[in-house]
Structure 1
């Protein structure tokens, strides 16, 4: 299915084509290429407004995810049985869901916010974007790090596994960025 990738901010310049290729690789590794997904790169005021509207937090952030499916357990996109169950669960809330069954959701990346963090940490923006896109996609699959320590660990390990595969294929070291983000959030 399709990836809608939009860079609708003009503050930070980055290689959009490389980012699109990275996102496609992440989709392949996560086995979610059969879904429609949108990734929007936005400025701080846009991500702040979204954060305020949907999370009641009036500040900019790095990534926001808006999953199409509201599931109680993370989905396994490689299991048709698992996905059929997720569609059935979603259709209970809204019968028109069947027509949009291939939509996984949307993620928004706050590019200036992320760039500022990269300036503080010294990590490359392109690696941070890979980590945060992976994190956003994990949320679209139903992973959640805010409900319990067990769920946090499950999500972290899932993301770390995807990043290990990404690093092996790309020759990069995005796992180092993930570890640093994890260490910063613990304190």
Structure 2
């Protein structure tokens, strides 16, 4: 087997060198319209890993990244309140949902992932599209389940924040409190 990041020989998802470079992510903050969105990695550092979501091996990559970042975050989550972790648009694609994998890693004493809560009714693809295109073609989120506690939104990447803000707005319009967003990577870096 080979490291899914650099291609070196490894019996694990990542070789020791790549795992070492990924295991200490730096939590960064981007605030959009007063909403806090935290990210673990610079997009440029894990671009090839993010794009693996379109392939079968992506489930292994996302699980490994989730354990190195989201799981550690959940373990150190210090707010003394219970919260639901909601993956943005966790439809099953290519045999798995990459956002559901990230949400699952957040499971802890005070954090409970719930699935199939927020699905896009529009199947438009934003990859490589402009901010104007994203704004002109909303996801039109549909709420399928009611979170019991305040919500932490989870996605893999933030580019313009259009999706995250639309998901937050949909939940708030339905009467749910959204605490913050959490993503693997911020594309502004």
Same fold (TM over 0.5): no
More helix by share: 1
TM-score, normalised with respect to structure 1: 0.29
TM-score, normalised with respect to structure 2: 0.29
